[in-house]
Amino acid sequence: MAEIIDYGQFAERLRRQEGRPRWELLDAVQREWGYEDPGGEPVASRWDGENLGYGIDESLPVPAALAEWWDSPVNSFSFRPRLYWTHTQWPPSIWVDECGEQDADEDAYDDSYAEDVEDAEDVEDVEDDASLDPARADGLPEGHPLLPPDAPDRRICIFMSEYQYCNQWGYLAAEASHPDPRVLVSTGGGWRLQSRSLSEFFLQLALERLPGTYGWTLKVRGADIQDPPAVLDRLTASYGELGLLPWQELACDALMYGGPDALISRARGSGSGFDLVIYGRTREALLQVVETLGLACTEEDVQPPGEVPEPLEELGAFALTDGDADDHGRWRVDSTGTVPAAVTVPSALRALPDRTAVALDEEASLAAAGDAEGRVHLWESTAEAAADGPAEAVSKPLHRAPVTALACFRPDDAHRAVVSGDAHGVLRYWRTDCDPRPQPFDRRRTAVTALTAAGLATGPALVCAWADGLVRIWDLDSGSVARLRLGTGIEDLVLEGDGTLYVTGPAGQVALRLDAEGLWPHRELQLRLHDVDWGSYWSARGPAHAVRGLIGKVASDHKETALGAVHDLYRLLVSKGSSLTAAAPAVPFLAELMTDPANQARPTLLLLIADIADCSSAENRAAVRAVLPMLRHLHDDPLSSIRWAAAELEKHCAPRPGEE
């Protein structure tokens, strides 16, 4: 985040886009706060929300802006819905006054609202009526200030609700034909104007939700503010309003102010838990706001970002010579200066406009090409016809950036596949007999520069190089992956079946002899993980499908990846209760990884194993006790943190009253 963004000038950014949808500004704001397009297909579609079946008036058009949002690649909700904690509704449904809400021109903060929610049977009757006739629905009273003059239709179309339905967002049915209509919000005391347009609402929603995940956060209660009038004066004098309407919640609203790399939300009304919430793109930006406003805070008060992207490597140019070898025994240089074999490109690929990458499989029976629009084109043929290529191609828009590299290969004897990489660092996997995998195979924050794949003695392997010089090598059967920090400038990769990897860089081509055992020391463990039906076990978040992949990441040679996986497993497997049945089958794998001196998360991993035993589940305690003998040598480990964790393990495994 080298560039400082002054959100005190945000109102001017809004003004420059006046009269236009806010999609360009939404995209910019999301990127500024750290959201990145994850690649692949959306995980949430318009059809995946609550989508209530009653109250749908099919005669009403859906505003163009709402459909555009659902279809847009800058719709971060569709890729990361958990960032927002909202329910969506498609098609928009007609609002039914289930709780007897007051009119919007009445006191929105009147406590009598809670007394109106009395009879659940009445709610069901209302819903039944609405399902029979969408016209039987509530709307704003005639003459309401939010209605256009002489509006023939006073109903409200709901398209989104807060996760616990404290707020609903909708637009007037009378404005459904507008391309980008105003957005209203229910506050418990009636309907109020939330945003001047749908596209501005989604911009405002992103500003409300994303900084808390990607930025530094400080929440300040009113009781902790000394001299509130003076703080308010400093706020309004030092920081500019963003130019958006106040964000409405139950019994309160909030104005957003901006400064250099910072946003400040100032709540008004009795319903807010915090008078001020400060977000900083950097810690320094947040602390500058604290100093300017004259607030007091401790280190513990400042919350770090909930998500931090993996940093890029800082490597020099790729340059290896004869005799060079990896410190971990994963590769050694066999030769340098070899001239790479030329690839014969079928004529069908040569004629493709905007072609940016091509690849053939070893048998020349599968050809692939990528283009500048992110599409991948496949040609399958017999070996005899491969020279000219078949006339027809199958094309898929797999990327939202130019395709930069491709690899065609056989994952097994019966199938063929292509892996594609793009300028945004995204890898997609497509087996030709089925649809491409919807989610990315991998993603990093820099361009893919080269791909190759081949069948080794251990099975199919895939190699990818990124622009920052990192190379990853996968054993596709087990999912094991090795990280090689080879250097920048890698232009081409060719993997041979004998385990030789030809790497072309600025100084020419180098042949690396790969060692499978060194690359994937936990390959057999990963294969055994596949034999467990994790979906039949229970974790803290439901069926334990994620546990297998997380245990695999604990084996990573990348410290942040391994530690992150252990922390995620804590959330899934550790509980004082007895309901988490996935913990017991996970313990033997975790203990096996703990015996590897090279594991990057050993102290935290040992504590995870110990804490699994600290529960009321006899099965979980028995699983940990079973692996205790193989871990007792850790009492003598050189690291004090591991010796302490080993003592905790012994303590939690000690017999409890009533146990033998």
What would the DSSP string read from start to end of 173-207? Answer: GGGTTSSS--EEEE-SS-EEEEESSHHHHHHHHHH
Residues 6+ apart with CB under 8 A from 71: none
- Considering only residues 250 and 194, tell me which one the structure prediction assigns the higher pLDDT: 194
DSSP 374: S
Q: What is the mean pLDDT of residues 34-59?
A: 89
pLDDT at 393 over 90: no
pLDDT of residue 100: 56
pLDDT at 128 over 70: no
pLDDT at 18 over 60: yes
Determine which of 90-99, 369-378, 555-564 has the lowest per-residue pLDDT on average: 90-99
Determine which of 116-125, 134-143, 363-372 has the lowest per-residue pLDDT on average: 116-125
Q: What is the mean pLDDT of residues 204-221?
A: 97
The identity of residue 324, as a single letter, is D
- Give the position of tokens 């495994």: 653
pLDDT of residue 152: 87
- Among 166-170, 199-203, 359-363, the range of highest mean pLDDT: 199-203
pLDDT of residue 55: 84
The confidence band for 2, taking pLDDT boundaries of 50, 70 and 90, is confident
pLDDT of residue 630: 96
pLDDT at 275 over 90: yes
- Considering only residues 381 and 131, tell me which one the structure prediction assigns the higher pLDDT: 381
Whole-angstrom distance, CA of residue 628 vs CA of residue 639: 19
Residues 6+ apart with CB under 8 A from 210: 29, 30, 33, 34, 35, 76, 83
CB 247 within 8 A of CB 254: yes
Q: What is the mean pLDDT of the chain?
A: 90
Structural domains in the chain? 36-103+132-209 (no CATH), 215-300 (3.30.310), 331-517 (2.130.10.10), 523-653 (1.25.10)
The identity of residue 31, as a single letter, is R
CB 76 within 8 A of CB 31: no
Whole-angstrom distance, CA of residue 556 vs CA of residue 553: 5
Q: What is the mean pLDDT of residues 467-487?
A: 97
pLDDT at 111 over 50: no
pLDDT at 199 over 80: yes
Neighbour count for residue 254 (Cβ, 10 Å): 20
pLDDT at 318 over 90: yes
